[in-house]
Amino acid sequence: MTAAQSTATVDDYIDRYGDFIAASPTAFHAAANAAEQLKAAGFSEYGLTEDWEEIAQQNSSGIADSAGFVLRDGAIIAWRVGADPLPHTPFNIWGAHSDSPGFVLKPNPNRKTESWAQANVEVYGGVLLNSWLDRDLEFAGRVFDSAGNCRLIRTGPVARIAQLAVHLDREVNNGLKLDRQLHTQPIIGVGEVDVAELLADAAGIPVTELAAWDVSLADTQLPARIGAHRELFAAGRQDNLSSTYAGLAALIAQTPAPQSIAVLAVFDHEEVGSGSTTGAGGPLLQGVIKRLQRLIGADTEAAQRSLAASWVISADASHAVHPNYAGHHDPETRPQPGKGPVLKHNANQRYATTGLGAAKWRALCEAAGVESQDYVANNTIPCGSTIGPITAERTGINTVDVGAPLLSMHSCRELSHVDDLYGLAEVAREFFRGQ
Ligand code: ZN
């Protein structure tokens, strides 16, 4: 659609990826920012409560050759339909997630200890706790006013989870132990501070009108290219904005073939098991597929044929081999930085990749001119999981698990290689091209 959004060069792509991360401290921001970019590129918004036939009819060719998206909380599903879809035309679905491990504000958010004002937070997902210490943090998320209106907010740097001085814990370098309740509560000032007032100020409403919130802590340090050749990229939330942004940029840049349908599915709550209305375990994706199939004129038979020929590429951050902990990886499969996105394997179906999916992925990489490498865990260190096995189970669609290799996954600030990020977006684009 807009040429400005093409995945044209690595530097250009990485600049835009960094801007997207900087503007997306929470899943709500990421989904809203994706929606803004899609709207700017000509995608129509389809409301969940609206009549989709009416919206599709606003396009001169109906659902054919159209582009749309549905935004729900921290999740977004977007699509582009080729110029001549048949009732059994399959879907090429790029799946990702918008959430990251961190800390969520509890309902009674104020604490006072000695003269310090503190906030009261809850751990979300598998946080690498120590990585959040001694950083300039903000509150970010969404708030609701008493009329039910929702606003995205961010306060700017106000908070810090302060580490104990080495003088007061001489054993700390023999193993840092953090209590998830006692040691994770951020300082937000001295004296009387009301967190609700900070949130209301950020929303531009009086605190008396603040009805509710979904607010997290977020690091305020901007993303940066580092490394001797600026080949590395340091930022929080690369798990999994690396895959979200790759899919977004690719969907905007790539017109699908006449009988192809490209879908970007970005879910929330992956880090806590995907079981929610906006998680991959919920019905959001299937609802969109069914409604699109109806608009394309698919009956039950055509819909089943379509699903049987469809693909999900479940893209989620993966692990590069760590130079200081080389023994923690499989001895033969060692993903290197800059050698391309990885294809994830797990015999126990923590990843959904099979030989069929591996062949599909390798063909896409070759067509895109992108190097790819494999990931499999050391047998003594079980790997994580992704939305891949969940969407495979729910939809029955062939699924393959892939992602950009990182160091420090689930840290407040993760590290990737710019070529792997760009390579992932290029393969996404090839996938969306379809045939
Ligand atoms: Zn992830």
Mean per-residue pLDDT for 10-33? 98
pLDDT surpasses 80 at 1? no
Contact status, residue 282 vs residue 368, Cβ threshold 8 Å: no
pLDDT surpasses 50 at 5? no
| CA-closest candidate to residue 71, choices 93, 92, 43 | 43
pLDDT surpasses 60 at 353? yes
| CA-closest candidate to residue 18, choices 231, 240, 234, 248 | 234
Q: How far is the CA of 101 from the centre of ligand 1 (A)?
A: 9
Q: Identify the residue whose tokens are 């580490």.
A: 163
Q: How far is the CA of 306 from the centre of ligand 1 (A)?
A: 28
Where does the pLDDT of residue 8 fall: very low under 50, low under 70, confident under 90, or very high at 90 and above?
Answer: confident
Whole-prediction pTM value?
Answer: 0.96
- The residues, any chain, with a CB within 8 Å of residue 367's CB and separated by 6 or more, are 430
Q: How far is the CA of 214 from the centre of ligand 1 (A)?
A: 20
Q: How far is the CA of 93 from the centre of ligand 1 (A)?
A: 17
The token duo for 410 is 């689930």
Q: How far is CA 182 from CA 121, 139, 203, 391, in A?
A: 10, 20, 30, 37
pLDDT 10s digits, 162-185? 999 999 999 999 999 999 999 999
Using DSSP's 3-state secondary structure scheme, residue 225 falls into strand
Contact status, residue 126 vs residue 271, Cβ threshold 8 Å: yes
Give the environment of ion ligand 1: residues with CB less than 5 A: 239-240, 316
CA distance 412 to 101: 8
CA distance 62 to 184: 53
**Average pLDDT of the residues of the chain:** 96
Mean per-residue pLDDT for 308-326? 97
**The predicted structure's pLDDT at residue 383:** 85
Q: How far is the CA of 249 from the centre of ligand 1 (A)?
A: 19
**The predicted structure's pLDDT at residue 7:** 56
The identity of residue 270, as a single letter, is E
pLDDT surpasses 50 at 37? yes
Q: Domains of the chain by range and CATH?
A: 3-100+236-433 (3.40.630.10), 102-219 (2.30.250.10)
Percentage of the chain beyond pLDDT 90 is: 97
350 burial (CB, 10 Å; 0-12 / 13-18 / 19+) is middle
Number of Cβ atoms within 10 Å of the Cβ of 208: 10
